[in-house]
A and B are shown apart, each in its own frame.
Chain A
Amino acid sequence: MAGAVWAIGEIVEGAPTRLTRELATLARQLGEAAALPVAAVLVGPDAAAAGALLAEHGPDVLAVEVDPGGRPTAAVIAERVAALVRERAPAFLLVGASNDGKDVAGILQGLLDWGVLVNGAGVRWSDRGPQVEMSVFGGRLVTQSTFAADRGIVIVRPSAVTAETAPAAGQVERVVVDPAIELAPVRVVDRVAEASAAVPIEEASVIVAGGRGVGGPEGFAVVRELADALGGVVGATRAVVDAGWIGYAHQIGQTGKSVKPQLYVAAGISGAIQHKVGMQTSGTIVAINRDPDAPIAEFADMMVVGDLFEILPRLTAAVRARRG
């Protein structure tokens, strides 16, 4: 399979993640554009079962079963992928920009000595191989990058492509690999679920975010209701996360998450640069702020000057009324 494009996937609760399905779709698209073979790789205790679901998107799936015991660590995944890469010599690896995906990519870089293009917002085939679009400097520039050699690892952000099933599903091949190098082990002592953590904020197409203007933890109720009415999720600034009004999983910005929803509603958010860099590439930005001169006015599409406690409940009611 020389020259192949591989999607390196992730299994959560027995199924490939949405981002993994997007990677498989992207691999198929690149393979068609470049007339190259493609495959997806899944490593986990239930890799073959998850592989059957992933194969619907087209690529053949190399399913590497590992001992039961929950989601494998990045080290366990990467050492097996590296062994497979040595055995079958693919050229390009697509890895998802999740926490686990970035860890796998970083470990693979250390094991294989390949270049990594990070933060891919789009990937298309060019005469120099995969050409990766990235938004840099908080969205002030968009770059197009390629690899210097005929190999490399691309870290792909959520929603760079839409997951599509293929006319013909791929095959699932169970493979057994011995990691050539055993990485230093990391033991998972416990996995703790927190209700507030499950926010797929990077994948959401609508985000309603609240800042210090919501006034306290209870103030998030009006934000949450509008998010629900719009079918979106709740975002936040660092100021309110630091204040303990909402969990870090919701934080958008420099040291939080970068998001690109179709609609971003910013309620009681000033629009500090460290917040702006995480959301300014959103499709449409609507700001609600008492202060007409808040910096967010400079990059919003609609600046509503007013009290969020007067605007949001009315807007929620109006959206609900339209939706019936």
Chain B
Amino acid sequence: MRIVVLLKAVPVVGNEKLVDGWRVDRSAGLEANGNDEYVLEAALKLVEAHGGEVVTLTMGPHPALEAIRKALAMGAARAVQIVDDALAGSDALATGRVLAAALAHLEYELVLAGADTSDGQGGVVGAAIATRLGLPYLSYAASIEPDPAAGIVRVRRISPTGYDVLEARLPALIAGTQLLGEPRYPSLRGIMQARSKEIATWTLRDLGIDPASVGPAASQTVVQEATPPPQRAGATVVREAPDVAVERIVAFLVSRRLI
């Protein structure tokens, strides 16, 4: 099975900041998005079971390389990075278009994406890409079971009441969650091998995309204002023995009209 994993490099959670107005700072300190590591792990396990290879696809600037190298060290065969100055400040719409255009240059039976990202929080890019490429879209996956011989894949999708078992033909795009399993740590051997693995760099020109159709000028969404939320006053600390502590909690909840 040939599997493409859509791997976004995001700022370390808790360290995100804005620059140049409303752009997320991606100049340093990027790591792989949490959900994207879960789907990468699932992809590596599928390839171990069925043969084939995992290729990662990232749209992101130079500092994304660290996350890409880690993915190679975990076991991806090679990586594609779309880098272009014009891409900074792109919205989800442009991101989906660019990634879909890149996928058209790759061969695969499965494309895996994360259910959502810690910086974008949208959980929409995967669905938009599948739609553009005419691929079946299966989301919120807790397990992925392809049957390459039959040309189908089955997914357990988290539902409001439990889970749904979904089936679609291959190739398909699947967005996955933490339930796919804990990502492996790169081994020393993996880290050594990663050094000789290919990281192809593609530009918008390679993909035939007009730079004017991406970036902030083409963005369909505009941040008007960003402000810190109201500060909390700091915690009231309660250290008394349980009975008194509980009286104080109750008094506090009553004062805030919560009980």
Contacts and interface: CB of A to CB of B under 8 A. Distances in A.
Interface of A: 12, 73-75, 78, 98-99, 102-103, 105-107, 109-111, 113-119, 128, 131, 134-149, 152, 155, 183-194, 197-198, 206, 230, 238, 242, 248-249, 251, 254-256, 258, 262-263, 273-274, 276-277, 281, 284-287, 292, 297-307, 310-311, 314-315, 318-319, 322-323
Given A107-B127, A190-B164, A197-B162, A115 B93 contact: yes
Interface of B: 13-14, 16-18, 22, 34-35, 38, 91-93, 96, 116, 118-132, 134-140, 142, 154, 158-169, 172, 177-179, 182, 219-229, 232-233, 235-239, 242-243, 245-250, 252-253, 256, 258-259
A140 B165 contact: no
A148 B221 contact: yes
A310 B244 CA distance: 12
Contacts of B247: 318
B129 to A, nearest CB: 7
Contact of A302 (B14, B162, B238): B238
26 contacts: A75-B136, A106-B124, A110-B127, A110-B131, A114-B220, A115-B93, A116-B220, A141-B18, A146-B221, A183-B131, A183-B134, A184-B134, A188-B166, A191-B159, A191-B164, A191-B165, A193-B162, A238-B178, A248-B158, A254-B118, A263-B253, A276-B14, A301-B235, A304-B248, A318-B246, A323-B259
A288 B4 CA distance: 44
A230 B250 CA distance: 12
A198 B162 CA distance: 7
A192, A285, A299: which has the most chain B beta carbons within 10 Å? A192
A198 B178 contact: no
Nearest to A315: B246
A184 B165 contact: no
Contacts, number: 283
Contacts of B248: 304
A255, A256, A298, A311: which has the most chain B beta carbons within 10 Å? A255
Given A102-B123, A103-B127, A148-B220, A300 B164 contact: no
Contacts of B118: 254, 277
Contacts of B129: 110
B221 A117 contact: yes
Contacts of A117: 221
Nearest to A314: B246
B123 to A, nearest CB: 5
Contacts of A135: 229
Contact of A102 (B93, B124, B168): B124
A99 B222 contact: no
Given A107-B131, A141-B18, A119 B235 contact: no
Contacts of B93: 109, 113-116
A184 to B, nearest CB: 4
Contacts of B239: 292, 305-306
A116 B124 contact: yes
Contacts of A273: 13-14
Contacts of A297: 235, 237
